[in-house]
Amino acid sequence: MRNITAQATAAASQPSGADVAVEVRGVCKMYNDVEALRSIDLDFPVGKLTTLLGPSGCGKTTLLKIIAGLIPATSGEIRVNGKVVTGPGPERAFVFQDFALMPWATVMRNVAFGLELKGMGKDERQSIARKYIAEVGLTGFENKYPHELSGGMRQRVGLARAFAVNADVLLLDEPFSAVDEQNRRKFQEDLLRLVELEKKTFIFVTHSIEEAVYCSDRIVILSRRPGRIAQVIEPDIDHNESPDAIRRDQGYLDTVEEIWQGLKRYVD
Amino acid sequence: MVAPAHLDGSSRAVHPPEASPLRQRLARHRASIFRIVSIGLFCLAWEIAGRIPISFAFPTFLETLRAFIEMLLDGSLIAAYGQTLQPLVIGVAISAILGVTLGIVMGLSRFSEWLIAPVFVVLQAAPMAALIPLITFVYGIGLLSKTLAVIMLALPVIALNGYKAVRNANPSLVAMCYSFQGTWWQRITKIIIPDASPVIFAGLRLGLAAGFIGVILAELLITPTGIGDLITYHRSVADYPEMYAAVVSIILVSTLTLAALEAFELRVLRPEKRRS
């Protein structure tokens, strides 16, 4: 396990060697008088799952939405594949905390919605959607409506919709927070399988330390408001092991404990 | 989650397999049976109240029913509706198109909200019956005045409902559409209007109900035509069963039209509600 403290080395948040999918340069965000984020510099390597972790109100979702182009930064810039972004783009796809599924549309139409907005023909987009519906394990539910699905299944729809537009970067905003614990574990395992399969860059916001350590290649810990990078941790989890073995692994448990010790002071 | 409940037989516990086909059919149509029983009880209470009698001007249910059938057969009821429906249909159609459009525009733009919304808030609060003589003053006693009366009652509630529905469109869905690079037009047509449609339709139902009030008020206050004429005439010659039949018929027509609108909404706009 490599553990890097950001304050110690300025270059630490820029992983050496690996290609960079998303660059965050000097991003600050003010909500009126409240400073949400202070000069964030961060690189997200291609094909890795990076988690933004921090106490509630640390601005991790704000940072994710700035990367998504959903809200503007007060200063600083975001580059995706080297290009500065000013709004949402086809190279990024967002998975919403509250799923953001259209209640009047079937699973099929919801999954294909990103393609529908691009003006793709019905047959073509439905065959793509069908593939990703199968990939997230929802085959047979194509003609169901969101209210007929459980929370976990709804978020699978949200995930399939993000996969279907074939973006390079997937942004997940606390995707499991509205999913119950048992479904969440299953979902995390499925997500890791999809990370492996899809070879995309994932940026993942969570407040669960276990989830962060279990899923991520890199964990970026933000401090309490104003959000700054407190620490970058690369948990070296061998995902070839079974999920249950990982959850009992000493390295895994130590990393969870270490992050908790670091975050404890922010919790009142 | 639902399937195991069926497997372990709990669904059979509710409908035992040895139940007669009649009983099963009753269980299936329970909601509509209760509805019919409710109406039947009301008619029975009416019949009893008419026979006590409460007032010599209060006919029994059966007398009213006889009068209703007679008026239906001699064509007077149909002719009356031919007249009443004209201002109603024109007025409600104009109110629906104008109201929904204005409501959506007000919901989307702050500027038009400031410009238009106050007018409708005032119109909605104003006692319309007091304004109808003014319409007569300006536009006379013809179809135009009656149509205007319908519009004045129906338009504000349709426009204000549309405006509130669009203003309260789910921000998360709007953000979703934005994040998938939906255009301004796609955002309105694919997210905001479908999301707002239940409240817009609630406004249309209220507007239609208000339209019925408007047309009857107009026919009673401006010049007696159509159903308003039937009511006024039969009251003046003390044909109370006929008068009640006319009143009940307009209530029936209004209720059935509203129910039809609701069924249309479920069928066309919100397919997911049909299964729940």
CATH number, domain of A218, equals: 3.40.50.300
For residues A85 and A124, membership in a common domain is answered with: no
Whole-number average pLDDT of chain B: 85
Tokens representing B243?
């008068």
Q: How far is A194 from chain B (nearest CA, A)?
A: 21
The stretch A162-176 carries a mean pLDDT of: 89
Confirm whether A112 is domain-assigned: yes
**pLDDT confidence tier of residue A192, bands split at 50, 70 and 90:** confident
Residue A86 lies in a domain: yes
Pairwise CB contact (< 8 Å): B175 & A89: no
Closest to A117 (Cβ–Cβ): which among B1, B170, B180? B180
| pLDDT category of residue A3 using cuts at 50, 70 and 90 | low
Report the number of distinct structural domains present in chain A: 2
**Based on the domain organization, do A246 and A176 belong to the same domain?**
yes
Which residues from A are below 8 Å from B165, CB to CB? Answer: none
Of B58, B85, B104, the domain-final residue: B58
- Separation of alpha carbons A24 and A171, rounded Å: 14
- Residue A268: inside a domain, yes or no? no
Q: What is residue B173's predicted lDDT score, i.e. its pLDDT?
A: 93
Interface membership of A27 toward B (CB under 8 Å): no
Are B210 and B119 found together in one domain?
yes
**A113 contacts B271? CB cut-off 8 A:** no
| Structure-model confidence comparison of residues A212 and A126, the more confident one | A126
Asked whether the predicted pLDDT for residue A6 surpasses 80, the reply is no
Total of domains in chain B? 2
> Which sign does the torsion angle of CA A154, A156, A158, A160 carry?
negative
CATH number, domain at B194?
Answer: 1.10.3720.10
Structural domain that includes position A234: 1-8+22-91+170-259
CA distance A95 to chain B (A): 9
CA count, 13 A, side-chain hemisphere, A183: 15
Residue carrying the six token digits 């031919």: B82
pLDDT digits 0-9 by tens, B153-195: 999 999 999 999 999 999 999 999 999 999 999 999 999 988 9
Q: Looking at beta carbons, which residues of chain B come within 8 Å of A146?
A: 272
Confidence check: pLDDT of A61 > 90: no
CB atoms within 10 A of CB B111: 10
Residue range B225-239, pLDDT digits in tens:
888 889 999 888 888
* pLDDT at residue B6, as a whole number: 42
In a domain, A16, yes or no: no
B142-164 per-position pLDDT tens digit = 889 999 999 999 999 999 999 99
Is residue A96 less than 8 Å (CB to CB) from chain B?
yes
Quick: pLDDT tens for A125-152: 999 999 999 988 888 998 999 998 888 8
Residue B15 has pLDDT above 80, yes or no: no
| Final residue of a structural domain among B36, B58, B80 | B58
Q: Which two tokens stand for residue B254?
A: 């209004």
Rounded mean pLDDT, A224-243? 78
Residues A178 and A226 placed together within one structural domain of the fold: yes
User: Do B144 and B29 fall into the same domain?
Assistant: no
- Chain B residues in contact with A93 (beta carbon < 8 A): 179-180
Judged against a pLDDT cut of 60, whether residue A14 lies above it is answered with no
For residues A2 and A80, state if they share a domain. Answer: yes
Residue among B179, B182, B183 whose CB faces A68 most closely: B179
Q: Please report how the helices B61-73 and B76-108 are oriented relative to each other, as an axis angle in degrees rounded to 10.
A: 100
Q: Is residue B10 assigned to a domain?
A: no
End-to-end CA distance of chain A: 29
What average pLDDT score do residues B4-16 get? 44
Q: Which of residues 129-148 of B touch A (CB under 8 A)?
A: none
Q: What is the DSSP string of chain A?
A: -EEE-TTT-GGGGS-SSS-EEEEEEEEEEEETTEEEEEEEEEEEETT-EEEEE-STTSSHHHHHHHHHTSS--SEEEEEETTEE-SS--TTEEEE-TT----TTS-HHHHHTHHHHHTT--HHHHHHHHHHHHHHTT-TT-TT--GGGS-HHHHHHHHHHHHHHTT-SEEEEESTTTTS-HHHHHHHHHHHHHHHHHH--EEEEEES-HHHHHHH-SEEEEEPSSSB-EEEEEE----TTS-HHHHHH-HHHHHHHHHHHHHHHTT--
Q: At what angle do helices B76-108 and B226-236 cross, to 10 degrees?
A: 130
- Residue in B170, B180, B184 to test binding to A, most A beta-carbons within 10 Å: B180
Cα(A112)–Cα(A120) distance, rounded to whole angstroms? 9
Domain boundary among B7, B37, B58: B58
Report whether pLDDT(B250) > 60: yes
Interface with A, mutate which of B173, B174, B179 (most A CBs under 10 A)? B179
| Domain of B54, in residue numbers | 20-58
Report if residue B211 sits inside a domain.
Answer: yes
> On the CB side of A46, how many CA atoms lie within 13 Å of its CA?
12
Instruction: For residues B165 and A132, give the distance between their C-alpha atoms in angstroms, rounded to a whole number.
Output: 33
pLDDT, tens digit, for every residue of B198-219?
A: 889 889 999 999 999 999 988 8
Within this chain, do residues B73 and B148 fall inside the same structural domain, yes or no?
A: yes
Residues A71 and A178 grouped into a single domain: yes
User: Does a structural domain hold residue A154?
Assistant: yes
ipTM of predicted complex? 0.85
In a shared domain, residues B51 and B120: no
With respect to residue B138, please indicate whether it lies within any of the assigned structural domains.
yes
Same domain, A77 and A209: yes
B93 pLDDT above the threshold of 60 = yes
The Cβ of residue A50 has, within 10 Å, a number of other Cβ atoms equal to 25
Residues A35 and A82 placed together within one structural domain of the fold: yes
Q: Is residue B8 part of a domain?
A: no
Q: Which of A143, A166, A189 is the last residue of a domain?
A: A166
Please check the confidence at residue B8 and state whether its pLDDT lies above 60: no
In a shared domain, residues A162 and A248: no
Cβ neighbours of B173 in A, within 8 Å: 100, 102
**pLDDT given at position B18:** 57
Same domain, B53 and B172: no
Question: Quick one: B97 and B37 in the same domain?
Answer: no
Predicted TM-score of the model (pTM):
0.77
Using the predicted structure, report yes or no on whether residue B137 has a pLDDT greater than 80: yes
| CA B214 remoteness from chain centre | 13
**A266 in a structural domain:** no
* pLDDT value for B275: 54
Can you give the pLDDT at residue A9? 40
pLDDT tens digits along A89-112: 898 999 998 899 999 899 999 999
At B274 the pLDDT is 59
At residue A8 the predicted structure's pLDDT band, cuts being 50, 70 and 90, is: very low
What pLDDT sits at residue A240? 72
